[in-house]
Chain A
């Protein structure tokens, strides 16, 4: 999303998304489908709950010794003949990848879906350096053609209907295709095959990296990850430092819950395990393998209040079940990572001030915690962020005054009773048959689409007092 877009207040961005009928259609269908698939997958998997607890415990323990696991991972990768790079900032990460591309003389880079590469805005940097990035995940390919950003962590083009994709292909590829997923996929497949064959550089993310073996693990459904990691001469994998897992045994636990949470599959169609560059005697694989370990605010949060967000496996389950995400989709959030977990990751990567509005983009319903494979307590951390926004005086002044008044009123019963009486007078012009409509100012936000019950002629506590008098008689 451009700077200009972010200047639009969040509420307006959300409202715009809600008026987009294509988006609403696409979102409704896709999130409902994902919810059902996930539910069925876990209903069929009695050990699922115990594995989720195990996975969470592994993440917790791993992050306490992150430095050791990263060192071990680096040693393993180097033993396999790969190179490991550390990037503290997005700028450093981009510079590392551009340097690798320059040395390889790369003109075209094929990419497998990677949120980390989105986070560091890699495509823009590659283009500026004269390297053409080509997204090869179908969803990513679609949004690259449309010059957009992903709107979901695992389904980047979730906001598009198949009709829109057919139109996009007609416009950008000059190919008339029916609005049929299979036909559209065939076209993309043919286009991409060419790109795979001529690319000099393959860029991927990493769903996991195993410290003990140096294995980088990619989970895909299209097999494009396998092409990206085997056809080009050079492979660069970029991953957030928190994606390291200690052992292969640990990996199995994560794999058992990741696809089930994301798409309801037992396993994704392809689980690609990459171990360094091609070795002597091997027929395929790159000449060079690079692993870029990205910090970008993560290490600073290891002991911070958002620490738990580092457990995230990027399955997207919390997006699908979030009532807010289901209304507005991913773009309205305005940052790389959308949805409930995205709010926390944005705060981690860009600081709490960046989520001044987003911290309130949740009804705190808790559906995300239930769906999260590692039970990240997202509402708890949103509450913490809201508290921080208040304590650092980052909340709007109008709101701070309103809540200051409310606090006084709720701490003093006489004031509370007076407010009830005043409210009863003030509501009169707006009340009819026990309901209030057309209220002004912020209260109008309620009555715009809903009636508000009137403040009762006698509050419960007034009626209770009368009842007690009767009882005593």
Chain B
């Protein structure tokens, strides 16, 4: 496959509303790599919050919109493993009302990539620079790790960054307790799971915890901030495409 020169950004609801800097970092990073970025307007959400709570008909309506927005995109790049998983693994089943819709969903699924996977597995990027130096640790988001089977790509990138020391997070593969609406349905349980995760994060002595999922970052960041921790939550894109500030 020749290196793609043009990609479409699926910003996701959390990325759009809460973490616009992640999207801006992605744009900077991709442009630096010589890739043109598009971002179809009118994006909302992949529909996973509806889907995971059992509202499949409603989720299908949202998914059908997303499908239309990215119908002609060559590659769709997503900053969250969970949303990428939704598109790649749930859309084809959700949009199976007609054979044509299913085919279109399967086509979109094949063209959709989580950011770290795209950088490593499609672009073959190995050497980048980081906006942050020092010791960092990495949290595996459940959907990227077990859903998309990816544990290597983010680590490959982090290990190659000059001035960055990647230390393994004990229990890196354990859930952070986000789980979408789970976090507000069972807040005590969700926060209890988070406590365990953050204790592990702080034990690494890292200055920041990196993840490839806006949901995890909302959870990790919310907990770190509440406990007044000096550890910064960062999306991988913010390290790789930071503007240096």
- Please indicate the chain B residues that have their CB under 8 angstroms from the CB of A411 in the complex: 44, 58, 61-62, 65
Q: How far is the CA of A189 from the CA of B55 in the complex (A)?
A: 53
Which residues, 190 to 228 on B, are CB-close (under 8 Å) to A?
Answer: 190-194, 196, 218-219, 221-223, 225-226
On whether A366 and B178 interact (CB within 8 A), knowing A327-B193, A460-B15, the answer reads no
- Please indicate the chain A residues that have their CB under 8 angstroms from the CB of B59 in the complex: 407
Interface residues as binary, B24-40 with A (CB distance below 8 Å gives 1, 0 otherwise): 10010000000000010
Counting CB contacts under 8 A, is B184 at the interface?
A: yes
Query: A residues near B, CB below 8 A?
Result: 11, 14-15, 18, 323-324, 326-328, 359-367, 369-370, 383, 385-391, 395, 399, 403-404, 406-407, 409-413, 416, 420, 423, 435, 442-443, 445-446, 448-456, 458-465, 467
Among B46-54, B106-114, B115-123, the stretch in contact with A: B46-54
Which residues, 151 to 207 on B, are CB-close (under 8 Å) to A?
Answer: 173-175, 177-194, 196
- Please indicate the chain B residues that have their CB under 8 angstroms from the CB of A416 in the complex: 44-45
- Please indicate the chain B residues that have their CB under 8 angstroms from the CB of A362 in the complex: 179, 182
- Please indicate the chain B residues that have their CB under 8 angstroms from the CB of A409 in the complex: 44
28 contacts between A and B (CB under 8 A): A323-B175, A324-B189, A359-B54, A360-B53, A364-B179, A365-B146, A367-B175, A383-B51, A383-B52, A386-B52, A386-B53, A406-B58, A407-B50, A407-B59, A407-B61, A409-B44, A411-B44, A411-B62, A442-B184, A445-B183, A445-B187, A448-B187, A450-B219, A451-B222, A452-B218, A455-B17, A456-B19, A467-B24
- Which B residue's beta carbon lies closest to that of A416? B44
- Which B residue's beta carbon lies closest to that of A465? B41
**Cβ of A461 and Cβ of B50 under 8 Å apart?**
no
**Cβ of A18 and Cβ of B192 under 8 Å apart?**
yes
**Cβ of A327 and Cβ of B55 under 8 Å apart?**
no
Count, chain B residues at interface, CB 8 A: 65
**Cβ of A406 and Cβ of B49 under 8 Å apart?**
yes
| Beyond A446-B187, A448-B187, A450-B225, 10 additional pairs, beta carbon < 8 A | A324-B193, A326-B196, A327-B192, A390-B54, A391-B54, A406-B49, A407-B50, A410-B44, A449-B187, A451-B226
Interface-central residue, B178, B196, B225, by most chain A CB under 10 Å: B225
- Please indicate the chain A residues that have their CB under 8 angstroms from the CB of B189 in the complex: 14, 18, 324, 327-328, 361
Q: How far is the CA of A370 from the CA of B142 in the complex (A)?
A: 11
**Cβ of A453 and Cβ of B18 under 8 Å apart?**
yes
Give min CB distance, B181 to chain A, whole Å.
Answer: 7
- Please indicate the chain A residues that have their CB under 8 angstroms from the CB of B55 in the complex: 387, 390, 403, 407
Q: How far is the CA of A446 from the CA of B184 in the complex (A)?
A: 6
- Please indicate the chain B residues that have their CB under 8 angstroms from the CB of A388 in the complex: 54
- Which B residue's beta carbon lies closest to that of A458? B20
**Cβ of B20 and Cβ of A363 under 8 Å apart?**
no
- Please indicate the chain A residues that have their CB under 8 angstroms from the CB of B16 in the complex: 459-461
On whether A451 and B17 interact (CB within 8 A), knowing A404-B58, A461-B43, the answer reads no
**Cβ of B193 and Cβ of A363 under 8 Å apart?**
yes
Q: How far is the CA of A57 from the CA of B209 in the complex (A)?
A: 41
- Which B residue's beta carbon lies closest to that of A404? B58
Q: Please give me the 3 A-B residue pairs with the lowest Cβ-Cβ distance, nearest first.
A: A363-B179, A386-B54, A450-B222
Q: How far is the CA of A399 from the CA of B184 in the complex (A)?
A: 12
Query: Which of A367, A395, A453, A467 contacts B19, CB < 8 Å?
Result: A453
**Cβ of A446 and Cβ of B222 under 8 Å apart?**
yes
Give min CB distance, A95 to chain B, whole Å.
Answer: 38
**Cβ of B188 and Cβ of A18 under 8 Å apart?**
yes
**Cβ of B188 and Cβ of A14 under 8 Å apart?**
yes
**Cβ of B11 and Cβ of A387 under 8 Å apart?**
no
Q: How far is the CA of A267 from the CA of B16 in the complex (A)?
A: 52
- Please indicate the chain B residues that have their CB under 8 angstroms from the CB of A327 in the complex: 189, 192-193
Counting CB contacts under 8 A, is B56 at the interface?
A: yes
- Which A residue's beta carbon lies closest to that of B79? A460
On whether A364 and B52 interact (CB within 8 A), knowing A369-B146, A411-B65, the answer reads yes
Q: How far is the CA of A449 from the CA of B62 in the complex (A)?
A: 31
Interface-central residue, B15, B62, B194, by most chain A CB under 10 Å: B62
Counting CB contacts under 8 A, is B13 at the interface?
A: yes
- Which B residue's beta carbon lies closest to that of A321? B174
Q: How far is the CA of A60 from the CA of B43 in the complex (A)?
A: 42
Query: Which of A363, A420, A461 contacts B190, CB < 8 Å?
Result: A363
- Which A residue's beta carbon lies closest to that of B179? A363
- Which A residue's beta carbon lies closest to that of B222? A450
On whether A365 and B27 interact (CB within 8 A), knowing A410-B62, A411-B65, the answer reads no
Q: How far is the CA of A364 from the CA of B56 in the complex (A)?
A: 16
- Please indicate the chain B residues that have their CB under 8 angstroms from the CB of A399 in the complex: 53
**Cβ of A410 and Cβ of B43 under 8 Å apart?**
no
- Which A residue's beta carbon lies closest to that of B15? A460
Give min CB distance, A302 to chain B, whole Å.
Answer: 23
Give min CB distance, A191 to chain B, whole Å.
Answer: 37
**Cβ of B62 and Cβ of A363 under 8 Å apart?**
no
Query: Which of B45, B179, B222 contacts A365, CB < 8 Å?
Result: B179
**Cβ of A459 and Cβ of B17 under 8 Å apart?**
yes
Give min CB distance, B142 to chain A, whole Å.
Answer: 4
**Cβ of A366 and Cβ of B18 under 8 Å apart?**
no
Query: Which of A443, A446, A452, A461 contacts B11, CB < 8 Å?
Result: A461
Q: How far is the CA of A323 from the CA of B142 in the complex (A)?
A: 12
**Cβ of A366 and Cβ of B147 under 8 Å apart?**
yes
Query: Which of B39, B178, B222 contacts A461, CB < 8 Å?
Result: B39
Query: Which of B42, B45, B53, B146 contacts A390, CB < 8 Å?
Result: B53
Give min CB distance, B227 to chain A, whole Å.
Answer: 9
Give min CB distance, B161 to chain A, whole Å.
Answer: 24
- Which B residue's beta carbon lies closest to that of A452? B222
Q: How far is the CA of A369 from the CA of B20 in the complex (A)?
A: 34
- Which A residue's beta carbon lies closest to that of B191? A449
- Which B residue's beta carbon lies closest to that of A399? B53
Q: How far is the CA of A386 from the CA of B53 in the complex (A)?
A: 6
- Which B residue's beta carbon lies closest to that of A361? B186
